[in-house]
Amino acid sequence: MRTTVGWQAAGPAALRRTSLERRDLRPDDIAVQVDYCGVCHSDLHALHAYDQYTDAPLVPGHEFTGVVAGIGSEVTTFSVGDRVAVGNIVDSCGVCAMCEAGQENFCHSFPTLTYGGTDRQDGAITLGGYSREYVVRDAFVYPLPSGLDPAAAAPLMCAGVTVWEPLRSLGAGPGSRVAVAGLGGLGHLAVKMAVALGATTTVISRTQDKHDDARKLGAHDLIVSTDPRQMAAARDTFDVVIDTISAPHDLAPYLKLVAMDGTLSLLGYLGPVTVEAMDLLIGRKKLSSAGSGGRLATAEMLRFCADNNIAADIEVLPSSQVDTALDRLRRNDVRYRFVLDMSDLD
């Protein structure tokens, strides 16, 4: 076994620095020195639900960048020292219809998650990127394009690809009208990507406060969701509404904004929802969702971001301040993503 250091759950919402074991490299494995790891809402949920007495060990973190520190005997596409990125899935069955279609994120036997997943070969529980080293199959490692800052690129690997896939599959581009509800980790990247894809892009926010931020991100307009007149005026005007609001909320006002044959894509809140069929019937509207990304889309997204100078707006903290990052994320006190600098684990 290889040993490294990381931040492991020690009770609900508590992490402690500890040494961790990583598997010896298999022929197709890569050891990644983790330099930067984003702090995702999923990490917060996982930690909140964690019970140290009954649950398997938990090390969060599933959007990280770093450099290759070692390669297995059959790895040909990466060399030691290469800049790389890893996201929230680290393996899949490779043979089901979804994997065949390049949508490993929808694998019929469920993709192996970067943390809290079960390794397909040895059955070990995967431990995430809040650590100095991660061992991962080469197929789920992505070259980090040279134009991308490694810290600001880390959130692209979960938040970024989660908004990229629906934007692409729903045809966001020149001539299309995209609205983004919720301006957090997911939302701010959705705005940047939609703008770069050529879509006319509008932010939907509860207050006017985010107006300047929306403009800085490149958005063309902002609609205040609590203003009935603005919402009425925007009825049926968006081909795509990307809903990144993480709390349960009424979808009806957002469905009303969707244009005929357009789609509301629900990305932030993934629990049960209630919809009036009439809100879909009138205008033949569609309700959809998405999460994570396949290998092809992930690689494509990284290239697009490098070409268009897109990365997350981040606040970097040393990993020893992970509690601060989680606490402030819980209060939505971040514009727009925390990234942990793992070098303090050496």
Closest contact distance (angstroms) between CB of 158 and Zn ion is 3
From the number of C-beta atoms within 10 Å of its C-beta (0-12, 13-18, 19+), residue 139 rates as middle
Q: In terms of CB distance, is 199 or 339 closer to Zn ion?
A: 339
| Cα 90 from Cα 141, distance rounded (Å) | 8
Q: In terms of CB distance, is 239 or 243 closer to Zn ion?
A: 243
107 belongs to the binding site for Zn ion (CB under 5 A): yes
Q: In terms of CB distance, is 71 or 339 closer to Zn ion?
A: 339
Q: In terms of CB distance, is 69 or 311 closer to Zn ion?
A: 311
Give whole-number Cα distances, 51 to 11, 15, 57, 191, 241, in Å: 6, 12, 9, 37, 37
* φ/ψ of residue 257, rounded to 5: -80, -20
Among 10, 13, 67, 96, binds Zn ion (CB under 5 A): 96
Q: In terms of CB distance, is 42 or 131 closer to Zn ion?
A: 42
Q: What does the block give as tokens for 190?
A: 């959705």
Q: In terms of CB distance, is 126 or 200 closer to Zn ion?
A: 126
Q: What does the block give as tokens for 30?
A: 């890569």
Helical (H) or strand (E) element with 83: strand 83-86
Nearest to 302 by CA among 129, 89, 99, 153: 153
Among 31, 34, 40, 141, binds Zn ion (CB under 5 A): 40
Query: For the residues of 261-284, what is the DSSP string, one character each?
Result: EEEEEE-S--S-----HHHHHTTT
Q: In terms of CB distance, is 66 or 155 closer to Zn ion?
A: 155
Interface size with Zn ion, residues (CB under 5 A) = 8
Q: What is the 3-state secondary structure (H, E, C) of 121-187?
A: CCCCECCCCCECEEEEEHHHCEECCCCCCHHHHHHHHCHHHHHHHHHHHCCCCCCCEEEEECCCHHH
92 belongs to the binding site for Zn ion (CB under 5 A): yes
10 belongs to the binding site for Zn ion (CB under 5 A): no
Closest contact distance (angstroms) between CB of 39 and Zn ion is 9
Site string for Zn ion, 241-260 (x = CB under 5 A): --------------------
Stretch that binds Zn ion, among 92-100, 170-178, 180-188, 189-197 (CB under 5 A): 92-100
Q: What does the block give as tokens for 197?
A: 């894809």
Closest contact distance (angstroms) between CB of 273 and Zn ion is 20
**Distance spanning both ends of the chain, measured CA to CA:** 18
Residue carrying the six token digits 């050529």:
198
Closest contact distance (angstroms) between CB of 87 and Zn ion is 8
99 belongs to the binding site for Zn ion (CB under 5 A): yes
Closest contact distance (angstroms) between CB of 257 and Zn ion is 26
75 belongs to the binding site for Zn ion (CB under 5 A): no
| Cα 208 from Cα 219, distance rounded (Å) | 14
Nearest to 157 by CA among 60, 67, 62, 87: 87
Q: In terms of CB distance, is 103 or 202 closer to Zn ion?
A: 103
Site string for Zn ion, 145-174 (x = CB under 5 A): -------------x----------------
Stretch that binds Zn ion, among 47-55, 95-103, 135-143, 225-233 (CB under 5 A): 95-103
| Cα 154 from Cα 169, distance rounded (Å) | 23
Closest contact distance (angstroms) between CB of 103 and Zn ion is 9
Contact residues toward Zn ion (CB under 5 A) are 40, 42, 92-93, 96, 99, 107, 158
